[in-house]
Chain A
Amino acid sequence: MTGGKFYRRAVLLLPALLALACAPAASRAEEKSSGELTVALSSLSTETLDPILGGQIVKFYLDQMFDYLVGCNPDGTLSKTDGLARDWEVSADRKRWTFLLRTGVKFHNGDDVTSEDVKFSLQRATGKRSTTGYAGPMRELIADIETPAPDKVVIVTKQPTLIIASYLSRALSTEGMVLSKKYHEAKGDDGFLAHPIGSGPYKFVQRTAGSFLKLEAVDNHWRQGAPGYKNLWFRLVPEETTRIAMLRQGKADIIDISRERVKEVQADGFPIRLRKDDAQINFWWIEPYQGKPLDNPRVREALNLAIDRKELAETIFNGMAAPGPVPWGMSWSYPEVGFKDDALQYKFDPKAAQKLLADAGFGRGIELQLYSYRLPGLPEGQAMAEAIAGYWEAIGVKTKLVPVDYPAFRKKWIDRSDPGGIGYFNVANRNWIGAYAIIDKYANPKEATATMHDPELEKIVLAIPGQVEQDKVNDLMRQLYARLRSEHHGVGLLNIHTPYAVSKRLASWDPGSVMYDLNLDQLTLTKK
């Protein structure tokens, strides 16, 4: 049973497959895991193995060690086949979410996964120590967690909501990862950190922070049966040339690679796998910029018109990108809410941009600070920033590039210590729930992360979470995107694909589209 087909069918035949949820496991259970798989990456992100610590969540190894409560397909839609919840439903008032757990799932130490573990994990993820992305909103939202039976969890929310299931899947963050309550209480936080256990297909063996992490396959995983490889290595190899050399020498099977080097590696016969549309590159301005040129929408429009998105996509991104003009426009959500951005593309028009600047009273140009830094999954970041600065210079915007590392920029942003300064991020693509969640963070002036002040926008955002009718939600989301684009609240630049180069011995693998996950489940075994 090949992966792609399986998932496509799963979406179509959900009810039928629910009953057969364990079928794929059974078919592979007799096989034994063997061999080694090495994933060499430019960054292992914050290397803590505790799902609630470390924040930045491009941590592919965690998905191998822990299962999520809610499953997620490779394209980012929710799944009832690959999460611990075999089904869920929400009450009519949208305040009681009931999750039914798969039975017989075991942690790496042999204990059963029960509703108590789910409750414990969720409380921990929304607790004081947690640094996960949505700890705050979840804490606000959840009133109580009930465990009426070992295979049944009920999450009671303070207000009606549609978002709970998405928040607990790997499409968003790590809050949905399920840890063992018993193990944790026996070992404490530090003991857990030294030797974490979960219920995922691979268990922890050894690691050297800043170098590698070694995982070992469990005998039989409920989702996968016997995992494809006996040992799974994640190695940190910052220098790209070194990663490619490792691939050529057979010392690495999967590497991340910059888009510009794809052709070179492909020419040597190494297959490239794309994670399609996994992120949008988005530029924004540090608040508060009232009283600055940026306060004028015409200036913001001029900055957008000055950029040749197509040229960028074709050169620096080597064709693995497409223009995406709406700031924080998450393209996965477009079909869900019935939004289209085709008519909203910015024309590359430096003359019009200059005219807009002049009309706004800045004919003699303005000055900007553009921060430039590296990000996981975006090795082209600094070249892109340099090119953007070049485009802006060409319309008379004096753009000072400030190379920093990301934390330094973040500090300026969070402290708001450089009003009007510009940063960028490759925002993981997401469905409408995720899109709403992230836009709220940037549009809500009360948040430290706010990047725009627009009362109209805020009104729309605030209306969404309490809304329980999907039609109205869709309408609000469309308004939201339209407003972001018409006011030019940032520079929505490109929707990008992320390439991985793989060794010739891997038969097939689809990295999926979820930026936070490598979808290693989909890896077919070594060619025999």
Chain B
Amino acid sequence: MRRFLLQRAIRAVLTLAILSVVIFALARATGDPLTLILPPEASAEDRANVSQELGLDRPWVVQYGRFIGHVLVGDFGISLYHRQPVNELIRDRLPNSMRLAGFAMAVAILLAFPLGVLAAARKDTLFDRGDQVIAILGQSVPTFWLGVVLIETVASRLQWFPPGDIGGLDHYILPGFTLGWFVVAGMMRLLRSGMIEVLDAEYVKLARIKGVIERRVIWQHALKNALIPVVTFMGMYFAILVANAIVVETVFAWPGMGRLAYEAITTRDFPVIQAVVLVAALIVTVANLAIDALYVVIDPRIRHAG
């Protein structure tokens, strides 16, 4: 078991290392940040000055060496665009994104669980089909469109909730729902098929024979076991949320990591692009590791396999 977790951890570190090289190269391939920092009228001399000041005139290898050296001590450098330490930017944004992702995850779970379980209990009925349609709807319209429609109707016309921007709990409702519904389909499917399988298993049949009432069979005996795959894939859903946050944060003017990533890419802010991708990957990786560990705890079979 310890070996299993150790292996996972080593792989996670390797993953991040590969990623750092890829993202470093990609960030530099997106073009010259000087063109953005300097006004159109800037002279060649101005360009050389600023390039030197920012260290952009050094060879890539040197830049990477410096970058990775600093990253290892937790320093992502200075944003070319904001002229502010990247750490500060991330410190400002990361909690906003985490809270939004957490809220969205809660929305997703609240939607997916009843839908998934009830669909499994009434497999292949019209009810099941209807459930699936509701679940899949969330990922069948472009996220930004759903967001804009919600803002126009719920925020602008009805004025029930604020149209985004950071604030109290009510500010989370529209972006959280927009972001959360997107992963409902995946989660619901997993639960549904998990439940169907479990409901078919011998011990559930046994419970039924023993006369346990059906509602208890479903919600207690079966759900507990069907949860395992859902937990396993929590990391993946989380990754999906992180990715979709770029769109949702733009629509709802949410000052999070997704927005930061988008701005950084369009402004060729190397240090920020690198940092955001690495931090996002780190979070997903750590989440996966935690889930692996949790998984070992809840599922005894892994211990034998490891």
Contacts and interface: CB of A to CB of B under 8 A. Distances in A.
Nearest to B43: A136
Contacts, number: 148
Contacts of B267: 46, 407
A169 to B, nearest CB: 17
Interface string A88-131: 00000000000000000000000000000000000000001111
A129 B36 contact: no
B266 A135 contact: no
B152 A411 contact: no
Contacts of A238: 250, 253
A235 interface: yes
Contacts of A239: 147-148, 151, 250-253
Contact of B92 (A48, A50, A173, A208): A208
B252 to A, nearest CB: 6
B252 A408 contact: no
B84 A193 contact: yes
Query: Looking at chain A, what size class is its interface with the partner chain?
Result: 35 or more
A128 B45 CA distance: 9
A131 B39 contact: yes
Interface string A201-226: 00000001111100000000000000
A249 interface: yes
A249 B163 CA distance: 9
B31 interface: yes
Interface residues on B, range: 35 or more
B49 A128 contact: yes
Interface string A243-257: 011101101000000
Given A210-B259, A235-B165, A241 B156 contact: yes
Interface string B161-183: 01111100000000000000000
A241 B260 CA distance: 20
Interface in B178-210: none
B293 interface: no
Nearest to A236: B253
A445 interface: no
A210 B276 CA distance: 14
A401 B257 CA distance: 31
A246 B47 CA distance: 40
Contact of A134 (B41, B89, B148): B41
A21 interface: no
A246 B165 contact: yes
B114 interface: no
Contacts of A413: 40
Interface stretch (A54-62, A327-335, A516-524): A54-62
B159 interface: yes
Contact of A54 (B37, B152, B155, B166): B37
A39 to B, nearest CB: 13
A407 B266 contact: yes
B83 interface: yes
Contact of A131 (B42, B44, B147, B148): B42
A441 B40 contact: yes
B159 A248 contact: yes
A209 B81 CA distance: 10
Contact of A251 (B40, B41, B165): B165
Nearest to B259: A210
Given A136-B46, A249-B159, A53 B83 contact: yes
A241 B82 contact: no
B137 interface: no
A56 B39 contact: yes
A242 interface: yes
Interface string B80-124: 011110000100110000000000000000000000000000000
Pick from A129, A236, A415, A448 the residue with the most CB of B within 10 Å: A448
Contacts of B50: 129, 131
Point out which of A54, A130, A405, A407 has the most chain B C-beta atoms below 10 A from its C-beta.
A407
A411 B44 contact: no
A131 B81 CA distance: 12
A132 interface: yes
B32 interface: yes
Contacts of B165: 235, 237, 242, 246, 251
B159 to A, nearest CB: 6
A133 B148 CA distance: 37
A438 interface: yes
A11 interface: no
Given A54-B83, A131-B39, A242-B165, 14 more contacts: A46-B267, A47-B82, A48-B81, A55-B36, A128-B49, A130-B46, A135-B42, A135-B46, A208-B92, A236-B253, A251-B163, A407-B267, A448-B44, A448-B47
**Interchain residue pairs A-B with the least CB separation, the first 4:** A211-B255, A245-B163, A245-B156, A55-B39
Interface of A: 46-48, 50, 53-57, 128-136, 173, 193, 208-212, 235-239, 241-242, 244-246, 248-249, 251, 405-408, 410-411, 413-415, 425, 438, 441, 447-449
17 contacts: A48-B81, A55-B36, A129-B49, A129-B50, A209-B82, A210-B89, A212-B255, A239-B151, A239-B250, A239-B253, A241-B152, A407-B35, A407-B266, A407-B267, A408-B31, A410-B35, A447-B41
Interface of B: 31-33, 35-47, 49-50, 53, 79, 81-84, 89, 92-93, 147-148, 151-152, 155-156, 159, 162-166, 250-253, 255, 259-260, 263, 266-268
